[in-house]
Amino acid sequence: MKFYSRVFDRISLQDRINFARHLSLIIKAGLPIYNGLTIIKEQTESPVLKKVVDSLILDVNNGKFLADGLQKFDYLFGGFFINIVRVGETSGTLAKNLLYLADELKRAKSLENKVRSAMIYPLVILVATLAVAGFLTFYVFPKLIPVFSSLNVQLPLTTRIMLWMLSFAQTYGIWILLGIIVFVIAIRIITKQVQPVKYFLDTLALHAPVVSGVIVGVNMVNFSRVLSLLLKSGVKIVESLDITAATFNNQVYRKILLDSKEEITKGGVLGAYLSTKKEFFPPLVYGMVQIGETTGNLEDNLEYLAEYYDDEVDIKLHALTSLIEPIMLLVMGLLVGFVALSIITPIYSISSGIK
């Protein structure tokens, strides 16, 4: 059951924002954490979050810290969320830290929405293409097959390919569907649980043309914002890097930050280490980090980097969608054209024969 929860249970970013913001306001108003959790449980519609809050209420009633209760659900909240709460409880600034957390998660959601919005138009084109091709293949084409069969004419290659595909789908359709479902579930489990596979796919994505720029930009925003907030909250640099690494979905960046933590533990400097990873950290990033470490303004410099790369991601996403749109239209034209040609060509041949 725990394995199932780790793979399939999810709490949306908006639910985490609401959880942090509402709990912050309740604590600031002077109410105990127990009351705040009870109110949040009544307000939320997420069954997963309700289950989590039930567990937190039980832990808090037993005298445990909120962060310790959240630790059991690290796969839902992440190390960044839990450690900001832990720092707040230790320093007596839990309400303030939760509000900071809500603001940072809101910025992360804004970035996520930008990426999703950029993908909407290409996805709409793809769905429309598949719908039109599917309608012609599985509704229009079968009605014409008896006509083609009754007339002993040589069918074009495209039509013969369509006939084979239709026959294959009718014979093995259920098995194909089940295979797709099993494949999707297996891929989800493998990419979540098998780290070498995830690392390979993340490395591949970082070397892909065009999209690699967007991926680097998104990760720079995440790196700068999270590390800046942790340092401002009073977390030491080594621990901050450990927590920041845990917030990365990209395994390549996670490994680099964990390695940088080890380097600093041995007496190294973050900026100098990042400068050896120029393929993944642009010169502006490690340059600003080096300046920040030298002048003691690392937190402010990281905040500036987060704002800068947030704008950069906007620009690169616009360029990416501008490139994807004509490609998708071309693919749509070729696919629908192939299906239409497979239907129209034999009809034209038959009508010419009749004349």
Name, in order, each residue with C-beta under 8 angstroms of 82's C-beta and a sequence gap of 6 or more. Answer: 67, 70, 71, 74
Would you say residue 8 has pLDDT above 60? no
* pLDDT for position 151: 61
| 211 & 355 share domain | yes
* pLDDT for position 344: 76
Look-up: residue for tokens 């709409």? Answer: 124
Find out whether 40 and 53 touch, Cβ atoms under 8 Å: yes
* pLDDT for position 1: 44
Per-residue model confidence as pLDDT tens digits over 277-332: 988 999 999 999 999 999 988 989 998 998 898 888 878 877 777 777 788 778 87
Q: How does residue 351 score in pLDDT terms, banded at 50, 70 and 90?
A: low
Q: How does residue 24 score in pLDDT terms, banded at 50, 70 and 90?
A: confident
* pLDDT for position 256: 92
Per-residue model confidence as pLDDT tens digits over 90-149: 777 788 888 878 887 887 777 677 767 767 777 777 787 778 777 777 777 777 777 666
| Helices 74-91 & 237-247 angle (0-180, nearest 10) | 150
Average of pLDDT values for 177-181?
87
Report which of 348, 350, 332, 275 is spatially closest to residue 127, judged by C-alpha positions.
332
* pLDDT for position 284: 92
**DSSP 8-state class, residue 140:** I
| 62 & 179 share domain | no
Q: How does residue 72 score in pLDDT terms, banded at 50, 70 and 90?
A: confident
Q: Which of 87, 102, 117 is the last residue of a domain?
A: 102
| 264 & 315 share domain | yes
Distance CA 158, CA 152 (A): 17
| 155 & 34 share domain | no
| 91 & 52 share domain | yes
Distance CA 135, CA 185 (A): 28
Q: What is the pTM of this model?
A: 0.67
Q: Which of 55, 85, 102 is the last residue of a domain?
A: 102
| 44 & 169 share domain | no
Distance CA 214, CA 71 (A): 32
Q: Describe the chain by its helix, strand, coil percentages, rounded to 5.
A: 85, 0, 15
Question: H helices of 194-297, where?
Answer: 195-206, 211-232, 237-247, 251-265, 270-274, 283-295
Report which of 106, 115, 109, 105 is spatially closest to residue 314, judged by C-alpha positions.
115
| 170 & 90 share domain | no
Q: Which of 79, 102, 125 is the last residue of a domain?
A: 102
Would you say residue 50 has pLDDT above 80? yes
Q: How many domains is the chain built from?
A: 2
Query: Residue 169 carries which side chain, given as an amino acid letter?
Result: A
Query: For residue 113, what is the domain's CATH number?
Result: 1.20.81.30
* pLDDT for position 4: 47
Name, in order, each residue with C-beta under 8 angstroms of 140's C-beta and a sequence gap of 6 or more. Answer: 343
Would you say residue 220 has pLDDT above 50? yes
| 111 & 134 share domain | yes
| 135 & 96 share domain | no
Look-up: residue for tokens 């596979």? Answer: 197
Q: How does residue 202 score in pLDDT terms, banded at 50, 70 and 90?
A: confident
Average of pLDDT values for 168-196?
80
| 86 & 199 share domain | no
| 317 & 279 share domain | yes
Residue 165 domain boundaries = 103-355
| 83 & 122 share domain | no
